[in-house]
Amino acid sequence: MSANPFHLAWFGAGGFGVKSWNKTWSGRGGKDWADPQLWIDLAQGLERARFDFIIIEDSSYVPDAYGGTAEAYVKSATATPKMDPSVLAPLMSHFTEKIGIVPTLSVSEHHPYGLARKINTLDHMSKGRTGWNIVTGSNDNAAKNYGLDGWLEHDERYEMAEEFFDLACRLWTSWDEDAVVLDEKTNTWGDFTKVHTVDFQGKYFSSRGPLNAPQSPQGLPTFVQAGGSKAGRKFSSRAANAIICGVDGGPAAMKEFREDVRAQAAGHGRNPDDAKVLFLVHPVVAETDEEAWAKRERQKAFGEAHPELSLLHLSRHSMIDFSQWDLDEVIPEGTTTNGHQQMMKQAIGKTPRQIANKGPGGLELVGSPDTIAAKMDEVMQEVGGDGFLFANFDLNRRFIAEMADGLTPALQRRGLVREEYTHDHFRDNLLAF
């Protein structure tokens, strides 16, 4: 590999549900929306390309923030339906051998004991390839599904996440590594002196422990986190092995973000190289640059004709009805949210149309596999590392093949990404370079 190899991961956006409904290359995606096979194909395709991991995005509510009704969301299958990522995860790991599988589970919707148990089980079953995308929740509709009026205030959610994380880690390590002895002579399966209660009493959670299963192959799962706000960055730099982010402003802003979270990781006493920063991108690849740009133009034209499709997301993440403003009216200073802070900050001062048409933000990666590979190399050299998180918006088998069998081999030919996994466990592969 080259002197500066980087990592590739995949953000399974839109949750486990309808994919690429009603589009040219969606196959039976609209009809077979509940069939996990597309995700199994995705996992196998990305493993063939030696990706580090796949995140299964999640939220657990039917949104109605845009226009005050669920109509636009249900009609366009936006952010609904979504099925439980922790049920999909073992299917994906069962049909693969090396790639990391990362379900999204919210600290606001689980108790640490239940979550620790679920993730421990998944890590055992995947033989050390399970991650956890740690999220805190944003939309109060989800809180109401759990019998609450709303979520805690934004920064306090991160305070709670810190406590949740600490307790879960204590539970994951409540069995000593050598607690299972399997001594047939003495008929002893496990040594109870190596299984400990945790007796945790916190502000938000308490638990006696121990977990009712031994440590999983990784001990702690591989942690993935996407906090973009001040409180979010503080948490991710303390906890995450992979910090995922959508950064607007090109390589200079990406570099600033990475340097900030690496410095904060060092401040927490961590080796910053143990917190890989992966930047969200949406590559548009085709046979030639001209064909790729024609494809991008078609995407833009579709977006411009349907600005509400982007605004649906912004509304649900912020709980602010973006249909209240005319498409060309500036979003006023002082508009605040208890949802995603970074997204809101980027919206203020722009018009809904500008936001909708801004495209994926960050980098435009458009071209033939070789053109995009060269651009990714150039950007990583400027930013300093650590890789990219590809996002699917129209997930279909054609797109999987373009990324896994078109773009990634071009990166591999340049020595920019791995050609083989060198370890069995997810975290070891992620931190290998």
| Window 93-132: residues binding ligand FMN (CB under 6 A) | 104
Contact between 161 and ligand FMN per CB under 6 A: no
- Contact residues for 256 (Cβ-Cβ < 8 A; gap 6+): none
**What is the closest distance, in whole angstroms, from the C-beta atom of residue 155 to ligand FMN in the complex?**
9
Contact between 232 and ligand FMN per CB under 6 A: yes
Whose Cβ is closer to ligand FMN: residue 179's or residue 242's?
242
What are the two backbone dihedrals, phi and then psi, of residue 16, each rounded to the nearest 5 degrees?
-90, 100
Beta bridge partners of 201: 206
Binding mask 294-333 for ligand FMN (x = CB under 6 A): ----------------------------------------
The owner of tokens 């998944």 is: 122
Number of residues lying near ligand FMN (CB under 6 A): 22
For 226-237, b where at least 16 C-beta lie within 10 A, e where not — what string?
Answer: bbbbebbbbbbb
Binding mask 57-76 for ligand FMN (x = CB under 6 A): xxx-----------------
Compute the distance between CA of residue 224 and CA of residue 276 in angstroms, rounded to an integer.
9
**What is the closest distance, in whole angstroms, from the C-beta atom of residue 318 to ligand FMN in the complex?**
10
Compute the distance between CA of residue 373 and CA of residue 412 in angstroms, rounded to an integer.
9
Residue 386 near residue 279, CB atoms below 8 Å = no
* 96 appears as a binding residue in the annotation: no
Residue 12 near residue 39, CB atoms below 8 Å = yes
**What is the closest distance, in whole angstroms, from the C-beta atom of residue 325 to ligand FMN in the complex?**
22
| Window 275-294: residues binding ligand FMN (CB under 6 A) | 280
For 30-68, b where at least 16 C-beta lie within 10 A, e where not — what string?
Answer: eeebeebebbbbbbbbbbbbbbbbbbbbbbbbbbbbbbe
Tell which one of 5, 228, 283, 385 touches ligand FMN (CB under 6 A): 228
Contact between 337 and ligand FMN per CB under 6 A: no
Stretch that binds ligand FMN, among 117-125, 134-142, 403-411, 413-421 (CB under 6 A): 134-142
Contact between 135 and ligand FMN per CB under 6 A: yes
Residue 333 near residue 280, CB atoms below 8 Å = no
Whose Cβ is closer to ligand FMN: residue 146's or residue 293's?
146
Binding mask 373-402 for ligand FMN (x = CB under 6 A): ----------------x-------------
| Window 1-40: residues binding ligand FMN (CB under 6 A) | 11
Stretch that binds ligand FMN, among 61-69, 203-211, 226-234, 401-409 (CB under 6 A): 226-234
Q: Which of 393, 433, 222 is nearest to 313 (CA)?
A: 393
| Window 164-223: residues binding ligand FMN (CB under 6 A) | none
Contact between 342 and ligand FMN per CB under 6 A: yes
Contact between 227 and ligand FMN per CB under 6 A: yes
Tokens of 163: 């406590």
Contact between 245 and ligand FMN per CB under 6 A: yes
* 158 appears as a binding residue in the annotation: yes
What residues make contact with ligand FMN under the rule CB under 6 A? 11, 57-59, 104, 133, 135, 137-138, 226-229, 232, 244-246, 280, 340-342, 389
List, as residue ranges, the binding site for FMN. Answer: 58, 104, 154, 158, 229
